[in-house]
Amino acid sequence: MGTAVTARAVARRQGMTIRVAGESGEGVITAGEMLSWALARAGWWVSTFRTYPAEIKGGPCMFQLRVDRKPLDTAFGQADVLIAFNDEAVELHQQAVRPGGVLLYDRHSDGSAPPSVRSDITARAVPFSEVASQQLQNRLTKNMVALGATYAAMGLPLDSVREFVARRFASKGQAVVDVNTRALELGYELARVQLQGLGPLSSLSEAEPDGASALARRETRRVLLSGNQALCLGAIAGGCRYYAGYPITPASDILEFMAQHLPAFGGVVVQTEDEMAALGSALGASFGGVPAMTATSGPGLSLMVELIGLAVMSELPVVVVDVQRAGPSTGMPTKTEQGDLNLAVYAGHGEAPRVVVAPVSVRDCYDVASRVFRLAERYQVPVVVLSELALAQRTETIDLPPVQPQAPVEDRGRLEAAAAPNGEYRRYLDTEGGISWRTIPGEPGGLHVITGLEHDEFGHPNYDPDMHRRMSEKRMRKLERLQREVEDNPSEWVERFGSPQARIGLLGWGSTYGAAREAARMAEEMGVAVRGLWVKMLSPLPAGVVREFLAGLDAVVVPELNMSGQFLRYLRAMGVEGPLVGLGKQEGLPFAPEEILERVLEVAGR
Amino acid sequence: MSVTAVPSPKVAGDGPAAQPLKPADYKGIKPIWCPGCGDYGILNAVVQVLVRNQMDPSRLAIVSGIGCSGRFPAFVRSYGFHSVHGRVLPVATGLKLARPDLTVIAVGGDGDGLAIGMGHLPHAIRRNVDITYLLFDNHIYGLTKGQPSPTTEVGHTTHASPYGVAEYPLNPLALALVAGATFVARGFSSHTKHLADVIEAAIRHRGFSFVQIMTPCVTFYDTYKVWKEQAWEIGPDHDPSSFEAALRLATQAQGLPIGIFYRVEKPTYLDRLLESVKDGQRLKEGRRYDPGDDARRLSALLERMAVR
């Protein structure tokens, strides 16, 4: 990245970005989560990012946290402060600290040479380990010492962190709560003496969170959620009442959340023996009339492909969540990627039209998940929700979402096509919009057998050339209709940002939205107007909306976390023409806003 | 291939009938199996059970995989789901867990259930979901024209095993027993009345019931003669509550014993779920949607997670 770009970008930043780094097992994530929670509780808007190894112990681990007075789009990017738990973390992460930033690192207790540090950042050795092992005889509390020190350096009161420590360790007994609280306090004392007035670290204490009155802040109810949690809550609100899943990073916590909470809403959860069983059983539940979901990651979606075809052919609603991670094969289980678009849109043999949607933020995970069950039920199709590790595991403060739970089932197509003209029930009655009346077991009037074989209107296997063409058209027609509906009323399925008059565009999908929106703001401040469109309905693609967006643009950057430009190619395959410029990243990490900004400035000739 | 389309059930006239239902009332479209196929015997036995119990066709769901057995649901007048190869047990499991009020029967062949779908069998057994699994075992892949299956005898020659099958056959009953099945039985399509009794007991069993049904393939592996000679009905001297006796019978008996090998009662998956979940009232009542209660619960959940 050009240093000029970086310097200009940094100048406009507000709030603070803190990165905690160390080895897996050192408590990096725990410290980061506590810091986020405490700051969120104090009224700051928080956004976080984490990256960790696939192994449970060992390997580099990082938690980045950004706080501000206003809602944040992304936590990824340069840090103001780096808290390093060991020398390797100093080495790996100091490049991510902005010039003028601060580094707090663990002081060597054996007198060995300290790690070498860039000259343009302020580094302080703090005895995290020493305090933990000598004063508390518990090396594991190093992260709490560091957390306390950080909090003191920020000039913030310790109360809310203390509260979270008590909550977090409550299940482990009072002794654990006590030693961690003590570590926190020792770290706090340490920093009060050593670390006062350290540049950017103290910036928060001078500011009021929120920029609003204390009263207004008290009335704002907020929740700090991960994308996966938001998605689960949205699914429950949207009517999901059966969940089946097989453990896989980074989707396992969806299974865990649903197992914990769905039964209270009258829903059943099963951990199946594999992903085929997960989707198979979800289809069984759906056949029984119960809205069903499964969640997995790329390898699991690969295994589910045949059953997605079955859902299309038998016209069963179902929701399949793919929390993408870096592939192919086992790939990098704990790293992010937008590599499954092709799979989600095209997977399967034969012509198998399905719906594919992609949320763009944590809040959007809630909204999208709350809508997809109705969509699946209405069109009697599988809906694939493409989330990503970077979206699923990042946490964000959001205002409590509106709670309007709804049963997704309206009429199962009955209003559309109750019966054939002679009064017969036909499961696959070939209607104008392609939607037929779906009865469920227990309804006396509508006995039928559904099948993955091509079939006639009754569902009886039928291999006539004309029938195959007709039924293929019927299944396709449902999506054409959905496409028209989205194009006529796209507000729920696209996000827009920037200036309508702009000549430069940003076009994308999924988790890159936040970084792109921030890049657009940065560009705007540098005098380059940008407008952006993030498409949340990927299949059927509302191509008309995209074309309209492209009108008048001289260049459009399409950032994607993959190498081949899957979305760019897909747009072109769907007949979207325009001055599209790809921007790929295949590193297992999200975009920093600066990376997108750089390409925007480049195409703008700046 | 063409299928004779018989008229589908009318919108009116289904459901619990005023008149006793006759075999014809449970017949779906005309079967397309080879003349002489053992599967006709199974179909007749199932229809007998349905008539005997006057079961409501609308509350019965038959799920199948792929193979000659896969078409079974269409031949019975009920709700049916002809799914994909090997996935019959997951589909049936999901259906029953979502709709405990239904009678769910899963059907599949030895290829479907013991080869491509084998991974699901022990887990369906472990869950002890209240479904009945009828394994149509003809020791061959019939629909793909005669390749060896997981139960084909060693040395048997087919086009795909021209020098004789080199693998040892599985013992489905022993497998089901050691996996912990609560109901394990075997029937023979030629002993239709006996088979109907076995299937009826399986359906009445509360929990996962496994029935291996010997059903000869007249076209690709005609075992009628051998099995008719070998088959013998298990008598009252066998104690179906004894696991050891069942395993002995499944592994050491001479000939082809048919009947109930093992039967014990254990809580089902749903029983255990209802017993253990913190707040299972809605689940117990089958009350999936309740706008007021849903909103209250969801708000409470969000409040618990709120930071401020």
pLDDT in tens, A287-321: 999 999 999 999 999 999 999 999 999 999 999 99
- On whether any CB of chain B is under 8 Å from the CB of A419, the answer is yes
Local confidence band at A550 (pLDDT 50, 70, 90 cut-offs): very high
How many beta carbons lie within 10 A of that of residue A330, not counting itself?
Answer: 11
Mean pLDDT of A221-231: 95
Taking contacts as CB-CB distances below 8 angstroms, the residues of chain B near A448 are 8, 79-80
Helix ranges restricted to H, chain B: 39-53, 72-75, 88-98, 110-111, 121-127, 172-179, 192-204, 224-230, 243-252, 269-276, 281-285, 291-305
Interface size between A and B, measured as CB pairs under 8 A? 258
Q: What is the model's pLDDT at position A172?
A: 93
Q: Residue range A113-129: average pLDDT? A: 92
Tell me which chain A residues have a C-beta less than 8 angstroms from the C-beta of B87. Answer: 276-277, 280, 307
Contact map slice: A 490-529 vs B, CB within 8 A: none
For B82, the closest of A223, A441, A449 (CB atoms) is A449
Q: How many residues does chain B have?
A: 308
B119 touches chain A (CB under 8 A): yes
Pairing mode, if any, of strands B132-137 and B183-188? unpaired
- 3-state secondary structure at position A100: strand
Q: A-chain residues within 8 Å CB-CB of B279?
A: 263-264
- Residues of B with CB below 8 A from A452's CB? 82-84
CB within 8 Å: B305 and A40: no
B83 burial via Cβ count (<10 Å: 0-12, 13-18, 19+): buried
Rounded to a whole number of angstroms, the distance from the CA of B256 to the nearest CA of chain A is 32
Start-to-end C-alpha separation, chain B: 66
Once rounded to an integer, what is the mean pLDDT over residues A130-149?
93
User: Looking at residues A3-19, what average pLDDT do you find?
Assistant: 60
Answer whether B302 sits within 8 Å of A401, measured CB to CB. Answer: yes
Positive/negative CA dihedral, A524, A526, A527, A528: negative
Interface ipTM > 0.85: yes
Distance of residue A216 Cα from the nearest chain B Cα, in angstroms: 12
Query: How many C-beta atoms lie closer than 10 Å to residue A459's C-beta?
Result: 24
Whole-number Å distance between alpha carbons of B26 and A602: 72
Listed by number, the residues of chain B in 9-28 with a beta carbon closer than 8 Å to a beta carbon of chain A are 9-12, 14-16, 28
Of A279, A404, A449, the CB nearest to B73: A449
pLDDT beyond 80 at B17: no
For chain B, say whether A460 makes contact (Cβ under 8 Å). yes
* Predicted confidence band of residue B19 (pLDDT cuts 50, 70, 90): confident
Percent of chain A residues topping a pLDDT of 90: 78
Beta-bridge partner residues of B184: B210, B262
Distance CA A375, CA A241 (A): 15
Pick from B208, B197, B198: which is nearest to B261 by CA? Answer: B198
Summarize the confidence of residues A551-566 as an average pLDDT: 98
Residue B15 has pLDDT above 70, yes or no: no
Would you give the DSSP letter of residue A131?
Answer: I
Q: How far apart are CA A33 and CA B292, in angstroms?
A: 33
Looking at residue A157, what is its pLDDT? 81
Q: Are residues B29 and B6 in contact, defined by beta-carbon separation less than 8 angstroms?
A: yes
- The Cα B232–Cα B254 span in angstroms is 9
Whole-number pLDDT of residue A199: 65
How many angstroms away from the CA of B297 is the closest CA of chain A? 8
Site from B77, B273, B275, B294 to mutate, A interface, most A CB atoms within 10 angstroms: B294
How far is A234 from B86, CA to CA, in rounded Å? 32
CA distances from A502 to A128, A490, A524, A578, A596 (A): 50, 21, 10, 15, 16
**Partner-chain residue, chosen from B8, B278, B287, that has the shortest CB–CB distance to A266:** B287
In one-letter notation, the amino acid at residue A127 is P
Q: What's the pLDDT at B7?
A: 34
CA angle A536, A540, A542 (to 5 degrees): 65
- At residue A215, the pLDDT reads 45
Verify whether the Cβ–Cβ distance A424 to B83 is below 8 Å: no
| A294 in B contact zone (CB under 8 Å) | no
Task: Give the 3-state secondary structure of residue A123.
Answer: strand
Which of B77, B101, B302 is nearest residue A442 as measured by Cβ atoms?
B101
Lowest mean pLDDT among A159-173, A356-370, B190-204: A159-173
Chain B residues touching A168 at Cβ < 8 A: none
B237 touches chain A (CB under 8 A): no
Tell the burial category of B168 from Cβ atoms under 10 Å away from its Cβ (0-12, 13-18, 19+): exposed
Q: What would the pLDDT profile of A48-101 be if each residue is shown by its tens digit?
A: 999 888 887 788 999 999 998 888 998 888 899 999 999 999 999 999 999 999
**Whole-number Å distance between alpha carbons of A317 and A314:** 9
**Three-class HEC string of A520-543:** HHHHHHCCCCEEEEEECEEECCCH
Measure B210 CA to nearest chain A CA, in Å: 18
